[in-house]
Amino acid sequence: MFKFKKKSLVMTTVLATVLLLSACSGNAVNGNGGKANNTPSAPKTEDTAPKSDNTESDKKIVVGFSQIGAESGWRDAETQSIKDTFGNDAQFELKFSDAQQKQENQIKAIRTFISQKVDAIALAPVVESGWETVLEEAKAANIPVFLLDRTVKVSDESLYTSFIGSDFILEGQNAAKTMMELLGEDKQVNIVELQGTVGASAANDRQQGFQEIVDANPNYKIIKSQSGDFTRAKGKEVMEAFLKSDGKNIQAVYAHNDDMALGAIQAIEEYGLVPGVDIFIVSVDGTKPAFEAIRDGKLNVTVECNPLLGPQLKQAILDFKDGVTLEKWIKSDEDVYFGQKAIDALPNRTY
């Protein structure tokens, strides 16, 4: 395994045997000792490595990636970035596992990666807590864990190597600041908040950052807050309920992601109001459909959150292999988009 500079013959033999057995069994990654598991809650798994009989494949750096699911356009873009990055580089083999929004599936996938003796694990954790035990198991197996996009709460930070992702608190702050800048600090604004998945760092931190700025201005109030689970369908459903209870008393929506904002736009239109005009809307992600909604005047602002994390993950794994000391938090560069700036950026947005 690459993390040990001095490879022992025993380890090399074990790895080669595992890879060979894995190739023979179709390389399925699951929590069932490699056997197919057809229960609906089982993680969906795939292996992108080309099958080969020669010894070349034994030298590949094997990366196990436990992805949350496919709840949003942002998530799909992140998955694609990882698959493209590792799929197009012959020195890597990617084992991909889709947890379908369930932490238990992610824990199963990590345990499978450990039993397969992968060289590195990448984890996009659905929620912040509950990872200690499985991360200790990875550490005991000497497998570095890279957190991707969302972070975890652990008592011992040595349980993971690096976190690669955005500053969600800053995103929340930028969402509130831009709302105030565009609506005016002196305006009385009642806000409804569509939160992300309960317990996710992306939801907790975006809430915290936004709340901090709102608390400093007595004219701005969050009057309702509920999770829309980062999906368009639930965003719409929750917005319908907000409109039913508070209707024209709502001046603004803060959605923790673009998909929920797009759902809210539909709900507002069906209610008979004009999104982006009667109700100001700010969301987070910076996806193409959000830029199109800004162009169409239905969304006011999107705060960018970069999903294209494949190249940074690959670099971090290679650096780790070379013994480079990595930053604990490898941050992404991001921006805030509204008005003409969003329209200008639209042609180059790939996701």
Lay out the site mask for ligand AHR across 209-248 (x = CB under 6 A, - = otherwise).
Answer: ---------------------x------------------
Nearest residue to 111 (alpha-carbon basis) of 20, 30, 57: 30
Q: Two tokens at 46?
A: 């795939």
Which residue's CB is nearer to ligand AHR, number 239 or number 305? 305
Integer CA distances (angstroms), 90 to 5, 47, 81, 250, 324, in order: 21, 14, 16, 53, 22
Contact 268, 274 (CB under 8 A): yes
CB atoms within 10 A of CB 302: 30
Which residue's CB is nearer to ligand AHR, number 81 or number 257? 257
Which residue's CB is nearer to ligand AHR, number 39 or number 350? 350
Specify the stretch interacting with ligand AHR by CB under 6 A; choose among 27-35, 72-80, 216-224, 316-324.
Answer: 72-80
φ/ψ region of 44 (left if φ > 0, alpha if ψ in -120 to 50, else beta) reads: beta
Q: Does 72 bind ligand AHR (CB under 6 A)?
A: yes
Q: Which of 45, 101, 162, 257 binds ligand AHR (CB under 6 A)?
A: 257
Integer CA distances (angstroms), 329 to 5, 268, 307, 320, 342, in order: 24, 38, 16, 14, 28
Which residue's CB is nearer to ligand AHR, number 93 or number 149? 149
Lay out the site mask for ligand AHR across 127-166 (x = CB under 6 A, - = otherwise).
Answer: ----------------------xx----------------
Question: What are 304's strand-pairing partners?
Answer: 285
Distance in Å, CB of 330 to ligand AHR, minimum: 15
**Residue ranges in contact with ligand AHR by CB under 6 A:** 71-72, 74-75, 149-150, 202, 230, 257, 259, 284-285, 305
